[in-house]
Amino acid sequence: MCRVPIFMAVMACAIGHVLGAEPGKRAADYHLSVDWTRPSGVLQTVPSLQVVTNPLLRPGSPLRDSAFRALKNLGANDVRFVPWYPFPKLAVPELAAPRDGKTSWNFSLIDPLVTEFFTATRGHPIIMNFSTIPQWMFRQRQPVRCPANPDRECGTYSQAPSESLIDPQEVGKYFARIVSWYTRGGFTDEYGHYHYSGYHFKIPYWEVLNEPDVEHGFTAEQYTAVYDAIVAAIHKVSPKTKFVGLALAFVNAKSLPVFKYFLNPRNHRPGTPINMISMHFYAHPGRSHSMAESFFNQANKFVATARRIERLRNQLSPQTQLIADEVGSLLPEQNISRHRPPISKVYWNLSGALYAYVYVKLARLGFTAVNESQLVGYPTEFPEVSMLDWRDGKPNARYWVLDLLRDQLTIGDSMYPAQAVSVGNLTARSPVVAQGYKSATGVRKILIINTGDKSIRLTLGAEVKGGRLEVVDESTEEGSPRISRLRSNGVPLEPFAVAVVRFPRD
């Protein structure tokens, strides 16, 4: 997640206006059809999330237990775990440079977070990303000074320019020692002293750094050199670990040369694996459109770029998998101020619908996973991407949308094209995005997303009668999806509703 300025609109009373349906306006009618005769592909995209470390996940936090319980209950694969630079003592186990035969290795604040994460995701593959290079590995006139309190943010920790990095090989050794700590029971430090942990976790995937285009501003060439050094070092201590590269914050036409350079095996050390590449997407309010229009327009641009990246992948490194491991939306000033008005309830539905929308689009491109950002945020730490209420730990609509997708869609399902058209006005733009699925046993499902800010009435084929409908919408609030039996083939959908219709096989 990048910390960059975004459009600072006046939002105190605008959020409800741009999100809510007009009172008293009659719901529009649409007809949804699925072509069950023509499969368009096979679902291989995991719906997942990322967990970023922060004080609310630490021992003693009243939210810790409910947060990790919510994570465990999801049962998601490919969850991304990120100890991140704003809280260096929770992310960097060697805060000071080795000197005079002594090192500063200390995992005491980090281990409780990591071990609880492994416990909550036991039995599921994960993506580990200790994303922060210690600041002392960069040439700086003065070292970065951070608060002694580990719960106090240090936003300047990861800002040293890329050209000041002293030695990529030492960076590789640093991360290899972290991997050894968690997978081999300990490691030998820079002066030959052994540090015992007793941990023997498995790390299926290690992601190399986070948003290097923002954090330190690495060029494609610089990042690739660091990636190769880290991969080589980690492979020596964890040969079965695979690697995720890039994790770019800004994915647009300007970033395509970075993907092109990195995906070319000739630009890497011989034998360096390029197992997977990652990218991030955050929508934010625009100047000339409603929030919803801005969010989905930006999502379309992101997906269009992702399609171009997929073509580059096919040309240069076809075995490399694709993942979008941070997907969310941002609000002006919510990152930095405790004094903004409360986030509108329907915003959570909009943001959840946005995630489902991006998931559907990237699944059509064959992405390996799409990870919603993030489990826990709070005022001053990206509250608008939190999947849990930071006051009481209750899951919001963003959590329940992910839970719905994970519960209802199965890897290996056949995918079928679906289209919604306006009843009585075939030229009207439909706010409905849908995708049909059929399981190996023939059970049919339709994922439906209302991307509009008005309630609609949707008519499906007669075959859905007697089927089951699960919906996340504004009325479900912090509760699980609403479940009902379809007595007819009509489905009402509130603004930004995400629904799955499930009905018997042929």
Residue 343, token pair as written in the block? 């986030």
Using the predicted structure, report yes or no on whether residue 475 has a pLDDT greater than 50: yes
3-state secondary structure of 201: coil
In the Cβ-directed half-sphere of 67, how many Cα atoms lie within 13 Å?
31
Residue 28 lies in a domain: no
Residue 102 DSSP class: B
Is residue 133 a contact partner of residue 83, using CB atoms and an 8 Å limit? no
Residue 389 lies in a domain: yes
CATH of the domain at 194: 3.20.20.80
Q: Where are the alpha helices (DSSP H) in 196-290?
A: 220-237, 256-263
What is the arithmetic mean of pLDDT over 467-495?
Answer: 95
What is the arithmetic mean of pLDDT over 43-63?
Answer: 97
Residue 316 lies in a domain: yes
| 431 shares a domain with 336 | no
Is residue 376 a contact partner of residue 57, using CB atoms and an 8 Å limit? yes
Query: Which pLDDT does position 139 carry in this prediction?
Result: 94
Using the predicted structure, report yes or no on whether residue 25 has a pLDDT greater than 70: no
Q: Is 390 exposed, middle or buried (0-12, 13-18, 19+ CB in 10 A)?
A: middle
Residue 227, token pair as written in the block? 């990636």
Query: Which pLDDT does position 424 carry in this prediction?
Result: 75
What is the arithmetic mean of pLDDT over 494-505?
Answer: 94
Domain that holds residue 486: 415-503
| 287 shares a domain with 424 | no
Q: Where are the alpha helices (DSSP H) in 184-215?
A: none
Amino acid at 277: I
Residue 207 lies in a domain: yes
Using the predicted structure, report yes or no on whether residue 442 has a pLDDT greater than 50: yes
Query: Which pLDDT does position 392 carry in this prediction?
Result: 94
pLDDT classification of 427: cutoffs 50, 70, 90: low
Query: Which pLDDT does position 287 carry in this prediction?
Result: 83
Q: How many domains does the chain have?
A: 2
Residue 408, token pair as written in the block? 């209802």
Residue 9 lies in a domain: no
Per-residue pLDDT tens for 268-284? 999 999 999 999 999 99
What is the arithmetic mean of pLDDT over 340-350?
Answer: 88
Per-residue pLDDT tens for 141-178? 888 888 999 999 998 898 889 999 999 999 999 999 99
For residues 185 and 3, what is the distance between their CA atoms, to the nearest angstrom?
A: 35
| 452 shares a domain with 313 | no
Per-residue pLDDT tens for 294-341? 999 999 999 999 999 999 999 999 999 999 999 999 998 655 556 566
Residue 447 lies in a domain: yes
Using the predicted structure, report yes or no on whether residue 230 has a pLDDT greater than 70: yes
Residue 419, token pair as written in the block? 């289209």
Residue 39 lies in a domain: no
Mean predicted lDDT score pLDDT of the chain: 92
| % the chain with pLDDT above 90 | 87
Query: DSSP string of 387-447?
Result: SB-TTT--B-HHHHHHHHHHHH--TT-EEEEEEEEETT-TTSPP-EEEEEEE-TT--EEEE
CA angle 78, 249, 12 (to 5 degrees): 105
| Domain boundary pick from 390, 411, 432 | 411
| 404 shares a domain with 432 | no
For residues 305 and 251, what is the distance between their CA atoms, to the nearest angstrom?
A: 7
CATH of the domain at 495: 2.60.40.1180
| 51 shares a domain with 176 | yes
Per-residue pLDDT tens for 388-425? 999 999 999 999 999 999 999 999 999 999 999 998 77
pLDDT classification of 19: cutoffs 50, 70, 90: low
Can you point out the beta strands (E) in 189-320?
A: 194-196, 205-207, 242-248, 276-283
| 430 shares a domain with 401 | no
3-state secondary structure of 360: helix
For residues 224 and 55, what is the distance between their CA atoms, to the nearest angstrom?
A: 32
Residue 104's contacts (CB-CB under 8 Å, 6 or more residues apart) are 94, 95, 96, 97, 98
| 279 shares a domain with 407 | yes
Using the predicted structure, report yes or no on whether residue 89 has a pLDDT greater than 50: yes
Residue 33 lies in a domain: no
| Domain boundary pick from 379, 396, 411 | 411
| 277 shares a domain with 175 | yes
**H or E segment and range at residue 368:** none
Is residue 478 a contact partner of residue 396, using CB atoms and an 8 Å limit? yes
| 247 shares a domain with 393 | yes
| Domain boundary pick from 382, 411, 440 | 411
| 320 shares a domain with 270 | yes
Taking alpha carbons only, the member of 369, 467, 349 closest to residue 409 is 369
**Phi, psi at 85, each rounded to 5°:** -65, -25
The CB-based long-range contact list for 359-362 (8 Å cut-off, 24+ gap) reads 359/45, 359/47, 359/327, 359/405, 360/433, 360/435, 360/447, 360/449, 361/299, 361/303, 361/306, 362/45, 362/303, 362/306, 362/322, 362/324
| 226 shares a domain with 94 | yes
Query: DSSP string of 104-159?
Result: -B--TTTHHHHHHHHHHTTTS-EEE------GGGB--SSPPP--SSTTS--TTTT-
20 to 17, 59, 258, 344: CA distances (angstroms): 6, 39, 40, 10
| 266 shares a domain with 342 | yes
Residue 83, token pair as written in the block? 């100890």
For residues 486 and 503, what is the distance between their CA atoms, to the nearest angstrom?
A: 9
Is residue 230 a contact partner of residue 175, using CB atoms and an 8 Å limit? yes
